[in-house]
Amino acid sequence: IAMNNDNNDGGASGAPRLFRQRGKSKVWTALINNQEVPLGTNDEKEARRRLAELYTEGDLKEETPWRVYWDAGWVVKYYDTERRRRTHRLVRSLPTDATKAHAEDAAAAWYEEHVSRRMVKRSSSAPRGPVRRATGTDSVPTFRQFGEDWTSGALSRRFPDHVREKASRKDDATRLKLYVYPVIGDRPMSEFEGRAGIELVEKVVASLPPVSTTFSRSSRRHVLQVVSRLLNLAAYPGKYIAINPLPKGFLPKVAAQKAKSFLYPSEEAQLMACREVPVVARLFYGVLAREGFRVSEALALTWKSVDLDRGVVTLEENKTDDPRSWVLDPGVVEALRRWRDGLTRLPKPTTLLFADPKGRPLDRFVVASALRDYLTLAGVNRPQLFERTETRIPLRAHDLRATFVTINLALGKTEAWITDRTGHRSSQMIYTYKRGARSVAELQLGSLVPLHEAIPELAKQAK
């Protein structure tokens, strides 16, 4: 099979094309007949091997609901109409010297005659009501189908009392697509019972990319957390398996915390004053540092979320499904008002807050690296902001949230005042910032400059 990274016909001629996903994952993916098939690995050699396994003499192997094995003669293993695992010997339909290819042909004919037709007959006479998608094993969905029901929200609509629709379901869908579905996506959920289920999940573990700068220990844990959650749902309310087979302690341990940074007020002022950085980017970073938004929350803000007349912001959808609202910093309110009035036309209520005058939103995949580049451009050179070592990570856009908490703790703001804005749910989370806050207070670093004064282009606009 011809496989390459060149810009060809995209697999339309039958030869797949390998390429790497955007973002951090860098997972190798095959483009086959204009369909993306993630191969679940960062290693090109391994990706080519996995792609080759999908093919037999140039054609994709067809997934079947049965398997042929040799056990003192050829046997076929399958699931019956009651979803019980069965074994049937093919001795009557095969000569003693039959090859595996002959056995597969005989198994296909036998399965069609004795199992598939019964399933069709049974489904046609079944009472009307909620029906699960058929997969060849009597309406038991595959892992991929069940996972897609979860990440699409269909499962939460079907079981509203037991399945919550996650705000981060798109991230989970990406993890499943890149690292899980290529390995076990086509296996029926009923196969995940007991030891067999553990062994299937262990295949996912074995196929995960090694720990690196683009795939951390936390990333491995996140992937397996999604798998474990799906198996919990498969046990109940799905009722495809008796219990989640993964034992306590299966998930990888949480990686040791690495040192993180936050911006000093003087450094943040340098960034805000740098005219070479786009205004919308400075406005975005400045609001993060002054209001404590999560990056995802800020990127999703629309103009209807902020009441500039009263200076209030309302977040109805967020990571923790905990709607909250608070009074914005006066400098932020004035900066947003001047930014809005300076646009060529007034934005619609549904227009994103942080979009340039042409309506283009910020790219969530580059806001962290762009922040470090902009700081360098502005002349900020504190080494801790840019170092990546075994014990430290460079400054991220998310760390502007830490800047907000640390500086306001140093200024004497209460935990309640801070959590009203950040959405933190425990004092333990706030406690992690108190050491840095004490340093800021001892150094008398002060507070951030009001945003409408910190950005020169907005400062010069008439009130």
Give 53-102 pLDDT, tens digit per residue. Answer: 665 434 444 456 677 777 667 888 776 655 566 788 776 667 767 787 77
Q: Tell me the pLDDT tens digit for each residue of 315-363.
A: 876 555 678 899 999 999 999 999 999 877 788 899 999 987 677 888 8
47 burial via Cβ count (<10 Å: 0-12, 13-18, 19+): buried
pLDDT above 90 covers a percentage of the chain that reads 43
Contact call for residues 60 and 66 (beta carbons, < 8 A): no
What is the C-alpha separation between 281 and 396, in angstroms, rounded?
14
**Composition of the chain by helix, strand, coil, percent to 5:** 45, 10, 45
Q: What angle do CA 82, 86, 92 make, to 5 degrees?
A: 125
> What six digits make up the tokens of 428?
């333990």
Candidates 335, 353, 328, 330; CA nearest to 421 is 328
The closest of 103, 97, 47 to 75, measured between CA atoms, is 103
Give the pLDDT score at 39: 75
Diameter over CA atoms, the chain = 93
Closest-CA residue to 247 (of 191, 182, 201):
201
Residue among 200, 212, 208, 214 at smallest CA distance from 252: 208
CA distance 179 to 41: 7
Sort 262 into a burial class: Cβ within 10 Å, 0-12 / 13-18 / 19+: buried
pLDDT in tens, 154-201: 998 889 888 887 777 788 998 999 899 999 999 999 999 999 999 999
Nearest to 220 by CA among 387, 391, 42: 42
Can you read off the two tokens belonging to residue 134?
A: 């058929």
d(CA 43, CA 52): 14
Whether residue 306 is predicted with pLDDT greater than 50 in this model: the reply is yes
DSSP strand pairing (312-315 vs 324-327)? antiparallel
Residue 292 three-state SS: coil
